[in-house]
Amino acid sequence: MKKYIIIGCGRVGRQLAYSLYKQGHVVTIIDPNVEAFNHLPPDFRGHTIEDDALAEGVLQHAGIEEADGLAAVTSSDTVNAVVGHIARNVYGLSNVIVRNYYPDKRVMMEAFGLQYISSTAWGSQKVEEMLFTEDIHTIFSAGNGEIEIYEVLVSPAWDERTIQSLLDGISPITAVTLTHAGNASIPALETTLHNNDILTVAASLQAIETLHTRLKAGKGQEA
């Protein structure tokens, strides 16, 4: 059982607080609007504090000295950044996550050296990927989606051709695994592909769009 502090009882904060509570952790959620707590699930038994997280003594009252982690997930990037900075640099809490609401404010999070989740940018990129790459599926997202791991189904046009020829000239991209007849391996660039193999690659969205076009066109140069 661990102790967590959640700043902000909006949609994200409520869901996060309830999920942590249901896992058996001690959860304290802070919000200046008392009505926000009315939207918590009726079986939530965590602690609620009606106050501004930046007000004097509030974080101490929430038990930050004994906390295992803090998430600042309000809709204010400034509040999230400042609370995260205080939690890390004043109270020495290393496990701090902050929400980035407006993408143009990410530079502020980076200046503070905070680990942040940019839900708006991430969500937009997911929709974009689904629109452009319907036959390529994301299976892992790193950071805020700048680089992701994609699962790619090898088309008949690339049967008996190499990974090198498929990825040649595309950047940034790298092959991670290749599954053939149910058996996965870490492939070399000279590994031969077969129809219906599953290739996983780490790539940017721009690179995966180029790969998507190449898969459909069936064009490339053998290494």
Q: What is the CATH number of the domain that holds 211?
A: 3.30.70.1450
Q: Domain count for the chain, please give it.
A: 2
pLDDT for the residue numbered 97: 93
Instruction: Enumerate residues 6+ apart whose C-beta is below 8 A from 110.
Output: 116
Residue 107 has a pLDDT of 84
* Other beta carbons within 10 Å of 16: 20
pLDDT for the residue 222: 45
Query: 101 and 150 in one domain?
Result: no
Distances in whole angstroms, Cα of residue 169 to Cα of each of 95, 98, 125, 173: 39, 37, 23, 9
Q: In this structure, is residue 106 part of a structural domain?
A: yes
Which single residue is written with the structure tokens 């143009």?
Answer: 104
Residue at 128 is within a domain:
no
Tally the C-alpha atoms within 13 A of residue 139's C-alpha that lie toward its C-beta: 13
> In the chain, which residues have pLDDT < 70?
122, 125-126, 128-135, 143-144, 218-223
Q: What is the pLDDT, as a whole number, of residue 20?
A: 96
Among the candidates 55, 89, 119, a domain finishes at 119
Q: What is the pLDDT of residue 170?
A: 95
Of 91, 119, 147, the last residue of a domain is 119
Indicate the DSSP class of residue 191: P
> 211 lies in which domain range?
133-217
User: What are 71-116's pLDDT values in tens digits?
Assistant: 999 999 999 999 999 999 999 999 999 999 888 888 888 888 888 8
**84 is a domain residue:** yes
Same domain, 155 and 197: yes
CATH of the domain at 14: 3.40.50.720
Boundary-marking domain end, from 75, 90, 119: 119
**Residue where the block lists tokens 């994301």:** 138
3-state helix, strand, coil in the chain (%, to 5): 35, 25, 35
Considering the domain architecture, whether residues 39 and 109 belong to the same structural domain is answered as yes
Domain identity same for 22 and 109: yes
Q: Average pLDDT of the chain?
A: 89
